[in-house]
Amino acid sequence: MTELHYGSVRLRDGRHLEFNDWNPGGGPPVVLLHGSPGSRHFHPDQQATHASGVRLITYDRPGFGRSHRREGRELLDTAADVDQLGDHLGLDRFALVGISAGGAHALACAHVLGDRLAT
């Protein structure tokens, strides 16, 4: 089955984001942004993740799960969090998937991080 690592990244502003890394060291990295409500524990079927060969990274968006909230947060702030998560995990490029309300966050990331995103 797919290997799972749990982790936390401390952001430059001192907050923490909790994440799950499915299939670390595996295929192309894909960062999944969950809907509302939701958490890093939302993921597609584990067998499908394994069969696809992707490295699936899920994280608790700020204020959800175990990630720290940020007062005055705006939608475009998501990009800085995802950028720092990618740095922490050593990802040069990665794909994004946004589920439900996570779709707006994925679009914000695409707007800010366009050159870093895989197509």
Tens digit of each residue's pLDDT (9 = 90 or more) over 30-43: 999 999 988 888 76
Measure CA of the first residue to CA of the last residue in the chain; give whole Å.
27
Coil vs helix vs strand at 110: helix
d(CA 77, CA 90): 20
Q: What is the pLDDT of residues 51-79, one digit of tens each?
A: 888 999 999 988 887 887 888 888 999 99
pTM summary value: 0.91
- 4-116 fold: Rossmann fold (3.40.50)
**H/E run at residue 77:** helix 77-88
pLDDT at 44 over 70: no
pLDDT for res 49: 79
Residue 64 DSSP class: S
Provide the β-strand partners of residue 21. Answer: 5, 57
